[in-house]
């Protein structure tokens, strides 16, 4: 597809379970971002990938959160031992390489509900 | 560190009236500034951005914003509101090339009154 896609669109899990959220960026975009949007709030930065490596993971709230991008394209956000406070919409964005490229294109998000 | 303040979590305007959504930012370096729009059950869409150069920037759907360094503001305006403008609007700041992560405000929900 032409845009950023995220799967699943909705995920309901129980407290303590493990979840994986997937992001497919726009083809050719080397930069990939994860954000988390809680109800009534703006998106909050979690982690930024440049290629395969995490260039900035300062937004990850704790060590239960982890993200990978092994081939520099698809990324997976992994959450261990989920807590009710993890319920939010998780957004992925990608950006094309090169100087002057500063627009991030966002996917529709994955709504995570932890019961 | 960066931060964004959006005054007014909810704004209502009549169809055809001026739209003004306020955004103030804080940044330790010259900022890049963005406005995004989010329609229900859709992803964020870029309306416009300021990086360098002309301080009045025009975006899609008739929106524009002016970067005012002295006021640390980047307010969004549209001369005449349309029913289709009803959405959530987010102002965001980044520190520019090399640190592109976005810091968002809490958003302003715009309602258009017929």
In this prediction, what percent of chain A has a pLDDT beyond 70?
97
Tell whether the torsion through CA atoms of B7, B9, B13 and B19 is positive or negative.
positive
| Confidence band for B27, pLDDT divided at 50, 70 and 90 | confident
A-to-B residue pairs, Cβ atoms closer than 8 angstroms: 61
The per-residue pLDDT for range A101-110, each reduced to its tens digit, is 678 999 999 9
Q: Residue A42: what pLDDT?
A: 93
Assigned token pair, A70: 């092994």
Q: Residue B24: what pLDDT?
A: 97
List the single residue in A41, A45, A109 with the smallest CB-CB distance to B101. Answer: A45
Task: Assess A52–B contact: CB distance below 8 Å, yes or no.
Answer: no
Q: Which residue has the tokens 């640190």?
A: B99
Q: Which residues contact B70 (CB under 8 A, 6 or more apart)?
A: none
Which of A104, A105, A108, A111 to probe by mutation at the B interface, max B CB count within 10 Å? A104
Q: Residue B28: what pLDDT?
A: 82
Please determine, for residue A55, whether its predicted confidence score (pLDDT) is greater than 60.
yes
Among candidate residues B42, B52, B32, B54, the one with its CA nearest the CA of residue B102: B32
Q: Residue B100: what pLDDT?
A: 82
Please determine, for residue A49, whether its predicted confidence score (pLDDT) is greater than 70.
yes
The answer to whether the beta carbons of residues B20 and B75 sit under 8 Å apart is: yes
Residues 89-108 of A with CB under 8 A from B: 91, 93, 95, 99-100, 102-108
Q: Residue B2: what pLDDT?
A: 87
Average pLDDT, chain A: 93
Whether residues A56 and B107 touch (CB distance < 8 A) is answered with no
A35, exposed or middle or buried, with CB in 10 Å at 0-12, 13-18, 19+?
A: buried
Q: Tell me the mean pLDDT in the region B1-16.
A: 94
Strands A31-37 and A88-95: antiparallel
Q: Which residue has the tokens 């002295």?
A: B70
Q: Tell me the Cα Rg of chain A.
A: 13
Tell whether the torsion through CA atoms of A47, A53, A55 and A58 is positive or negative.
positive
Tell whether the torsion through CA atoms of A25, A45, B42 and A103 is positive or negative.
negative
Please determine, for residue A1, whether its predicted confidence score (pLDDT) is greater than 80.
no
**Which of A18-32, B18-32, B86-100 has the lowest average pLDDT?**
B86-100
Question: Nearest residue on chain A to B41, judged by CA atoms?
Answer: A108
B86, exposed or middle or buried, with CB in 10 Å at 0-12, 13-18, 19+?
A: middle
- How distant, in Å, are the alpha carbons of A54, A95, B21, B65 from that of B37? 27, 18, 12, 14
């Amino acid at each position: 597809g032409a845009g950023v896609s995220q799967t699943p669109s909705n995920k309901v899990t129980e407290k303590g379970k493990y979840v994986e959220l997937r992001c497919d960026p726009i083809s050719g975009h080397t930069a990939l971002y994860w954000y988390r949007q809680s109800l009534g709030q703006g998106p909050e930065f979690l982690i930024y990938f440049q290629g395969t490596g995490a260039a900035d993971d300062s937004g990850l709230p704790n060590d239960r959160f982890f993200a990978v991008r092994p081939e520099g394209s698809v990324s997976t956000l992994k959450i261990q031992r989920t807590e009710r406070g993890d319920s939010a919409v998780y957004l992925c964005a990608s950006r094309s390489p090169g100087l002057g490229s500063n627009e991030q294109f966002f996917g529709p998000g994955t709504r995570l509900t932890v019961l | 560190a960066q931060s964004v303040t959006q005054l007014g979590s909810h704004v209502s305007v009549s169809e055809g009236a001026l739209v003004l959504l306020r955004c103030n930012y804080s940044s330790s370096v010259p900022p890049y500034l963005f406005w995004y729009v989010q329609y229900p059950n859709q992803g964020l869409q870029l309306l416009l951005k300021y990086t360098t150069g002309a301080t009045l920037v025009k975006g899609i759907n008739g929106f524009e914003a002016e970067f005012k360094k002295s006021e640390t503001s980047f307010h969004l305006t549209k001369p005449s509101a349309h029913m289709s403008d009803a959405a959530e609007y987010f102002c965001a700041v980044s520190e520019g090339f090399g640190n592109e992560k976005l810091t968002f405000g809490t958003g302003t929900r715009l309602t258009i009154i017929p």
